[in-house]
Amino acid sequence: MTATQLGQTPLWLVAVIIGGRLPDLRLDMIDAGDDVVFAAGTICLGCLINWPLLPWMLPIPEGAMKGALVAVVALAALFLAPGFAAAAELRAEMRQATPIGPGDALGTVTISDGPGGAVVTTVLRGLPPGPHGFHVHENGSCQPTTANGQPVPAGGAGGHLDPQHTGKHEGPEGNGHLGDLPALQVAGDGSATQTLTAPHIKDLTTLRGKSVIIHAGGDNYSDQPQPLGGGGGRIACGVIE
């Protein structure tokens, strides 16, 4: 087989595909006279062992180099893009918060990156019309707890997400809880299809494994006259994944 034929037979691509996502793949380009050679490096299988990918050097004619490099980039995008997509969008399946645990499904809350902060998209139904406090809470649980001998729906979610320990509820534009989102506006038919922005949330990884809570009442973005915006009880909850 000639060098040209070898260059047209991407055996090293087959090896990469068999290996799956191989973040430690290294392909070194070596000038070998009229041909350009890809020398296989090493890959990390499950990041447990290093194994020589290919013990031989695959010659590729210099004229075919551009196409080969395009193939490398395209293959990397194919295997890595799903991982980036997963990191760029989070989702919570919302359910009623009841004294005995999560109840009926109410829809979804999706959180994605945006130029002005996190973009929160709601597709919800079955909620009481009007404004509702809407926050990210510190724990990834929608289970009830007990306080003063009484059940607390979705009490397992804990308090508002506040990694800087500000101890203040000032809404999405303030300098308090990171989990303070814009208030949710529910239409007369019980639906809430909105796109909201949380400007202080820049890193979605801080939200993964937390929870989203919808409160019974509105939110004045203050701890006065009532704490936490006056939202009161928790009527819906979903874990962010």
Q: What is the pLDDT, as a whole number, of residue 63?
A: 55
Contact assessment for residue 167 and residue 105, using Cβ atoms and an 8 Å cutoff:
no
Q: Where are the alpha helices (DSSP H) in the chain?
A: 3-7, 11-19, 65-88
Q: How many CB atoms lie within 10 A of CB 28?
A: 10
Q: What is the pLDDT, as a whole number, of residue 88?
A: 74
Q: What is the pLDDT, as a whole number, of residue 155?
A: 98
Q: Which residue ranges of the chain lie beneath pLDDT 50?
A: 1-58, 60, 65, 68-70, 72-73, 75-86
CA–CA dist 68, 85 (Å, integer): 26
Contact assessment for residue 93 and residue 105, using Cβ atoms and an 8 Å cutoff:
yes
CA–CA dist 185, 127 (Å, integer): 10
Q: What is the pLDDT, as a whole number, of residue 49?
A: 37
Nearest to 135 by CA among 32, 204, 236: 236
Q: What is the pLDDT, as a whole number, of residue 54?
A: 41
pLDDT 10s digits, 188-220: 999 999 999 999 999 999 999 999 999 999 999
Give CA angle at 206 (201, 210), nearest 5°.
110
What is the residue extent of each domain of the chain? 3-87, 88-239
The domain over range 88-239 is classified in CATH as 2.60.40.200 = yes
CA–CA dist 7, 169 (Å, integer): 63
Task: Give this prediction's pTM.
Answer: 0.67
Contact assessment for residue 39 and residue 28, using Cβ atoms and an 8 Å cutoff:
yes
Nearest-10 Cα torsion for 16, 19, 24, 27: -20
